[in-house]
Amino acid sequence: MSHQPRAPRSARTRLRPRPLRAVRPGPRPSARTSPVPRTSPRPWARTRPSARTRPSARTRRRGGDRGQAAIEFIGFLPLLLLIALAGVQLGLVAYTAAQSGTAARAAARTASQDAGGSPAAAGREAISGWLADGAAFAQDTPEGEVTVTATLRIPSVIPGVDLGSVQRSSTMPRADD
Protein backbone atom coordinates (compact mmCIF):
# COMPACT_ATOMS: atom_id res chain seq x y z
CA MET A 1 0.00 0.00 0.00
CA SER A 2 1.43 3.29 -1.04
CA HIS A 3 1.37 5.98 1.51
CA GLN A 4 1.27 9.66 0.50
CA PRO A 5 3.20 12.05 2.68
CA ARG A 6 1.05 14.46 4.59
CA ALA A 7 1.60 18.22 4.55
CA PRO A 8 3.02 19.72 7.74
CA ARG A 9 0.48 20.59 10.39
CA SER A 10 0.95 24.36 9.93
CA ALA A 11 0.08 24.12 6.22
CA ARG A 12 -3.04 22.05 6.94
CA THR A 13 -4.40 24.53 9.48
CA ARG A 14 -3.86 27.47 7.17
CA LEU A 15 -5.97 25.96 4.45
CA ARG A 16 -8.91 25.07 6.69
CA PRO A 17 -11.19 27.99 7.67
CA ARG A 18 -11.80 28.49 11.33
CA PRO A 19 -15.34 28.10 12.59
CA LEU A 20 -17.12 31.26 13.64
CA ARG A 21 -18.03 31.72 17.27
CA ALA A 22 -21.02 33.74 18.30
CA VAL A 23 -20.68 36.46 20.91
CA ARG A 24 -23.26 35.64 23.54
CA PRO A 25 -23.97 37.45 26.74
CA GLY A 26 -23.02 35.45 29.78
CA PRO A 27 -20.34 32.84 30.29
CA ARG A 28 -18.08 31.91 27.45
CA PRO A 29 -19.09 28.67 25.65
CA SER A 30 -16.76 25.72 25.96
CA ALA A 31 -14.74 24.43 23.05
CA ARG A 32 -16.98 21.33 22.81
CA THR A 33 -20.10 23.23 21.76
CA SER A 34 -20.73 23.57 18.06
CA PRO A 35 -20.32 26.99 16.46
CA VAL A 36 -23.37 28.93 15.37
CA PRO A 37 -23.88 28.65 11.59
CA ARG A 38 -23.23 31.76 9.54
CA THR A 39 -26.78 31.99 8.24
CA SER A 40 -28.44 32.09 11.65
CA PRO A 41 -29.59 35.52 12.82
CA ARG A 42 -27.48 36.82 15.69
CA PRO A 43 -29.06 40.04 16.94
CA TRP A 44 -26.85 40.18 20.02
CA ALA A 45 -23.71 40.26 17.84
CA ARG A 46 -24.67 43.62 16.37
CA THR A 47 -25.53 45.34 19.61
CA ARG A 48 -22.64 44.14 21.71
CA PRO A 49 -19.11 44.83 20.45
CA SER A 50 -16.72 41.92 20.31
CA ALA A 51 -13.92 41.49 22.75
CA ARG A 52 -11.42 42.52 20.07
CA THR A 53 -13.03 45.91 19.43
CA ARG A 54 -13.62 46.85 23.05
CA PRO A 55 -10.70 48.56 24.76
CA SER A 56 -9.39 46.59 27.67
CA ALA A 57 -9.05 48.01 31.14
CA ARG A 58 -5.31 48.43 30.54
CA THR A 59 -5.71 50.57 27.44
CA ARG A 60 -8.54 52.72 28.79
CA ARG A 61 -7.58 55.79 30.78
CA ARG A 62 -9.59 57.78 33.21
CA GLY A 63 -10.83 60.86 31.40
CA GLY A 64 -9.22 59.71 28.18
CA ASP A 65 -7.94 61.97 25.42
CA ARG A 66 -11.30 63.52 24.65
CA GLY A 67 -10.88 67.13 23.52
CA GLN A 68 -7.08 66.96 23.29
CA ALA A 69 -7.03 67.88 19.59
CA ALA A 70 -9.25 70.91 20.20
CA ILE A 71 -6.97 72.14 22.99
CA GLU A 72 -3.90 71.72 20.79
CA PHE A 73 -5.60 73.60 17.95
CA ILE A 74 -6.56 76.48 20.24
CA GLY A 75 -2.96 76.68 21.43
CA PHE A 76 -1.65 76.68 17.86
CA LEU A 77 -4.26 79.15 16.52
CA PRO A 78 -2.43 82.39 17.51
CA LEU A 79 0.66 81.26 15.63
CA LEU A 80 -1.43 80.47 12.54
CA LEU A 81 -3.09 83.89 12.69
CA LEU A 82 0.28 85.61 13.05
CA ILE A 83 1.62 83.78 9.99
CA ALA A 84 -1.51 84.70 8.02
CA LEU A 85 -1.22 88.39 8.99
CA ALA A 86 2.47 88.39 8.03
CA GLY A 87 1.56 86.95 4.62
CA VAL A 88 -1.13 89.58 4.06
CA GLN A 89 1.28 92.34 5.13
CA LEU A 90 3.96 91.07 2.76
CA GLY A 91 1.41 91.11 -0.06
CA LEU A 92 0.47 94.70 0.79
CA VAL A 93 4.13 95.79 0.67
CA ALA A 94 4.61 94.18 -2.75
CA TYR A 95 1.35 95.67 -4.07
CA THR A 96 2.29 99.14 -2.83
CA ALA A 97 5.72 98.90 -4.49
CA ALA A 98 4.12 97.91 -7.81
CA GLN A 99 1.56 100.72 -7.58
CA SER A 100 4.32 103.22 -6.79
CA GLY A 101 6.15 102.27 -10.00
CA THR A 102 2.91 102.59 -11.98
CA ALA A 103 2.24 106.06 -10.53
CA ALA A 104 5.81 107.24 -11.30
CA ARG A 105 5.58 106.07 -14.92
CA ALA A 106 2.18 107.71 -15.49
CA ALA A 107 3.33 110.98 -13.94
CA ALA A 108 6.60 111.01 -15.93
CA ARG A 109 4.73 110.30 -19.18
CA THR A 110 2.36 113.21 -18.54
CA ALA A 111 5.22 115.56 -17.62
CA SER A 112 7.25 114.61 -20.72
CA GLN A 113 4.41 115.35 -23.17
CA ASP A 114 3.93 119.00 -22.14
CA ALA A 115 0.18 118.57 -22.64
CA GLY A 116 -0.60 120.93 -19.79
CA GLY A 117 -1.87 118.22 -17.41
CA SER A 118 -0.70 117.79 -13.86
CA PRO A 119 1.81 114.90 -13.48
CA ALA A 120 0.68 114.35 -9.85
CA ALA A 121 -2.99 114.05 -10.91
CA ALA A 122 -2.04 111.56 -13.66
CA GLY A 123 -0.03 109.51 -11.14
CA ARG A 124 -2.94 109.46 -8.65
CA GLU A 125 -5.38 108.35 -11.36
CA ALA A 126 -3.12 105.45 -12.34
CA ILE A 127 -3.19 103.77 -8.89
CA SER A 128 -5.82 102.41 -6.51
CA GLY A 129 -7.91 105.03 -4.73
CA TRP A 130 -7.07 103.83 -1.21
CA LEU A 131 -3.34 104.23 -1.96
CA ALA A 132 -3.66 107.50 -3.89
CA ASP A 133 -4.67 109.54 -0.82
CA GLY A 134 -1.18 109.48 0.71
CA ALA A 135 0.82 109.68 -2.54
CA ALA A 136 3.53 112.32 -3.00
CA PHE A 137 5.28 113.19 -6.27
CA ALA A 138 8.58 114.97 -6.89
CA GLN A 139 9.60 116.11 -10.36
CA ASP A 140 13.13 116.77 -11.66
CA THR A 141 13.77 118.10 -15.19
CA PRO A 142 17.35 117.60 -16.33
CA GLU A 143 18.32 118.44 -19.94
CA GLY A 144 16.04 116.59 -22.41
CA GLU A 145 14.25 114.31 -19.93
CA VAL A 146 11.83 114.27 -17.01
CA THR A 147 12.27 112.23 -13.81
CA VAL A 148 9.32 111.77 -11.45
CA THR A 149 9.61 110.08 -8.06
CA ALA A 150 6.43 108.69 -6.53
CA THR A 151 6.28 108.01 -2.77
CA LEU A 152 3.46 105.86 -1.35
CA ARG A 153 2.82 104.98 2.29
CA ILE A 154 2.66 101.26 3.02
CA PRO A 155 -0.69 100.39 4.64
CA SER A 156 -0.50 98.25 7.77
CA VAL A 157 -2.73 95.33 8.73
CA ILE A 158 -2.13 96.07 12.42
CA PRO A 159 -3.48 99.52 13.40
CA GLY A 160 -0.93 101.91 14.83
CA VAL A 161 2.08 100.22 13.23
CA ASP A 162 3.95 102.40 10.71
CA LEU A 163 5.87 100.47 8.05
CA GLY A 164 7.24 103.49 6.22
CA SER A 165 6.89 104.25 2.55
CA VAL A 166 7.96 103.02 -0.89
CA GLN A 167 9.67 105.22 -3.50
CA ARG A 168 9.91 104.52 -7.20
CA SER A 169 11.33 106.78 -9.92
CA SER A 170 10.70 106.88 -13.64
CA THR A 171 12.54 108.84 -16.31
CA MET A 172 11.03 109.73 -19.71
CA PRO A 173 12.49 111.74 -22.60
CA ARG A 174 10.95 115.16 -23.21
CA ALA A 175 8.80 115.64 -26.29
CA ASP A 176 10.44 117.68 -29.04
CA ASP A 177 9.21 121.27 -29.40
Comparison of pLDDT for 5 and 23, the residue scoring more: 5
Q: What is the mean pLDDT of the chain?
A: 80
pLDDT at 5 over 90: no
Comparison of pLDDT for 117 and 20, the residue scoring more: 117
DSSP secondary structure string for all residues of 14-73? HHSPPPP----SSSPPPTTSPPPPTTS--HHHHHS--TTTSPPTTT--SSTTTTHHHHHH
Comparison of pLDDT for 137 and 38, the residue scoring more: 137
**Count of C-beta atoms within a 10 Å radius of residue 21:** 13
pLDDT at 44 over 60: no
Q: What is the mean pLDDT of residues 129-141?
A: 91
In this structure, which amino acid lies at residue 121?
A
Please give the pLDDT value at position 159: 84
Confidence class for position 164, pLDDT limits 50, 70, 90: very high
